[in-house]
Structure 1
Amino acid sequence: MTNTPESADSTPVGSSTIRFEPLTCSIGAELFGVDLGDVSRDDTLFTELKALLLKYKVLFLRDQDISRAEHVAFARRFGELEDHPLASSDPEHPGLVRIYKDLDSPAEHYENAYHCDATWRQKPPMGCVLRCVETPKAGGDTIWVNMVEAYAKLPDYIKTLIDGLRARHSIEATFGAVMPVAQRHRLKEYFPDAEHPVVRTHPETGEKVLFVNAYTTHFVNFHTPENIRYGIDYAPGGSNLLNYLISQASIPEYQVRWRWTPNSVAIWDNRSTQHYAVQDYWPGVRKMERAGIIGDRPF
């Protein structure tokens, strides 16, 4: 069990008595003295932890020597789990996706890009629980970003410009780009491009969230008389605006960076954050197991 530092905050969040320490002024908190196996079986502990998650958006714990069954049971407290079409799940625990990176791993994309998981789905994940199985001696950190803060700090004229805009998110244009043409087309048939608001509303907190990322390809309703005088206002005008919005995730003031150790865990709200898995550890090995929780349609 992790030792509790003297600086850990005991200030309640709602009725929470879980001890925690905020990691930045914008996002992230580390929890102490908590076993996720216990949380999976205790309604009160789970309620307290969820309140902390909604406030800090990503929670971190160390020394979580829990079983895969306990990992899955904890994640299912939030909702049913989903598989990934291109990453294998543990055979005995459907929905527990294995993200194993070693020298024999094929090239994979969009971990080392700022992204919100699976926004190419009509209903992207509500959140994820990621546990470190094996970590390199150096490198392999993950960065999370507070996209509520990213929206709040936009200039007012940008907020006005993007109000009501919608955008496409594509698995074909990202993971599918390395596939043979026929396979890529089949992937798109199974997962047609999703359309989401550029600014979504968090269904539980009511917060406004900037909701474009590495899976976003273009706006679908930018080409209107209010925005377009000539074609050049749309291309590259619209794409430049999208790139500007996507770039907001790279601002350090909105971020927290986590150094993994074996049995450490991150729990994040996928509706209000993005993340970036830093691939700076070759020839080291990094093995993670992730439970993604089915979400709802963004509005």
Structure 2
Amino acid sequence: MSKATSSVQSVVPVLDVNPVSGRIGAEIRGIRLSGELDAATVETIQQALVQHKVLFFREQNHLDDQSQEAFAHLLGEPIAHPAMPVRDGTHFLLELDSARGQRANSWHTDMTFVDAYPKASILRSVLAPASGGDTVWANTASAYNDLTDELRELADKLWAIHNNEYDYSLQQLDPSGKRVTSMVCETEHPVVRVHPVSGEKTLLLGHYAKRLRGHSQIDSAHLFSLLQSHVTRLENTVRWRWHTGDVAIWDNRATQHYALDDYGTQERIVRRVSLKGDVPVGVQGQRSQVTKSL
């Protein structure tokens, strides 16, 4: 057993925390997620989430929409997507159904077009394809640590403009783009965010980042590509093969993710609830700023 595993299990020994890859991801076995978990178990999950960045739970088929929301309340304050309707009968759940074209096959951190984007997301598989449809997560803290000193010094000073002009979920509301344009949010974030719990420095990029402040579009694209390539190095990633009933929870302050669109006409349905986050703080103490809101 690794030191990382034993340190988490020492809080609540009944939890079985198993790292899935070298730098990110752990599967927790022997637990039934619900809104009735005791405080010590919830605290262990919180600690494991900060440590491992993404947690996986198999065979949570007992969960429905209401119990998923009840569980979310234990981990933080649930919030709805700022521009998307919630699923009928729920307060916060966003449903993503491949049959409606909702396939997020690009690297992103959830909702970085707002300033206080979610600290975490809880995703439940309602219908998993027989093959394909995996999700990959990347550790943006280890990506920062991989940079040379010179690149870290550069990244520490950069700011990126994030907006939702391209959002896979918004496009389903109005494929023409007219309504989407009126729903665009824009925020300036530091490219390097200091994690409010662990103190780790993380790269804040992904597909919502459109350009770098003070740099041309061409230079922005080159710098973005350079830094983003460190995020998505295979050493910094974990890939999860979904089964119906699985749940994944990820620290949205220290990860990006990518849902593979490789399952053809098979249907894939997931439901997500996100937890309220705080405004990012950069290396020099500056906070993110909204430049355009709904």
Same fold by TM-score greater than 0.5: yes
Query: Using the alignment, how far apart are the partners of 1:288 and 1:236 within structure 2?
Result: 36
Structure number with bigger Rg: 1
Corresponding residue for 2:121?
128
Cα 1:69–1:163 change in 2 (3 A) is same
Q: Which runs of 5+ in 1 are unaligned?
A: 1-5, 223-233
| Aligned-residue RMSD, C-alpha | 2.2
Corresponding residue for 2:232?
250
Corresponding residue for 1:45?
41
Q: Which runs of 5+ in 2 are unaligned?
A: 282-294
Corresponding residue for 1:11?
6
Letter in 2 for 1:258: W
Which of these residues, 260, 273, 287, is aligned with residue 278 of structure 1?
Answer: 260
Corresponding residue for 1:147?
140
Name the % identity.
33
Cα 1:219–1:264 change in 2 (3 A) is same
What is the correspondence of 1:99-178 to structure 2 with a 5 Å cutoff?
99-102=96-99, 105-106=100-101, 108=102, 111-175=104-168
8 Å CA contact 2:33–2:71 kept in 1: the answer is: yes
Which of these residues, 255, 274, 280, is aligned with residue 298 of structure 1?
Answer: 280
Which of these residues, 245, 263, 269, is aligned with residue 287 of structure 1?
Answer: 269
1:37 positional shift: 1.2
How many aligned residue pairs are there?
274
Letter in 2 for 1:243: S
Corresponding residue for 2:290?
none
Query: Using the alignment, how far apart are the partners of 1:277 and 1:136 within structure 2?
Result: 13
1:87 positional shift: 4.2
Query: Using the alignment, how far apart are the partners of 1:156 and 1:166 within structure 2?
Result: 18
Query: Using the alignment, how far apart are the partners of 1:26 and 1:83 within structure 2?
Result: 30
Corresponding residue for 1:215?
208
Q: Secondary structure at the match of 2:250?
A: strand
1:71 positional shift: 0.8
8 Å CA contact 1:87–1:98 kept in 2: the answer is: no
1:262 positional shift: 1.0
8 Å CA contact 2:108–2:207 kept in 1: the answer is: yes
Corresponding residue for 1:229?
none
1:220 positional shift: 1.1
1:10 positional shift: 6.0
* TM-score of the two chains, using structure 2 as the length reference: 0.87
Cα 1:235–1:101 change in 2 (3 A) is closer
8 Å CA contact 1:123–1:294 kept in 2: the answer is: yes
Query: Using the alignment, how far apart are the partners of 2:117 and 2:238 within structure 1?
Result: 22
What is the correspondence of 1:59-74 to structure 2 with a 5 Å cutoff?
59-64=55-60, 65-74=62-71
* TM-score of the two chains, using structure 1 as the length reference: 0.85
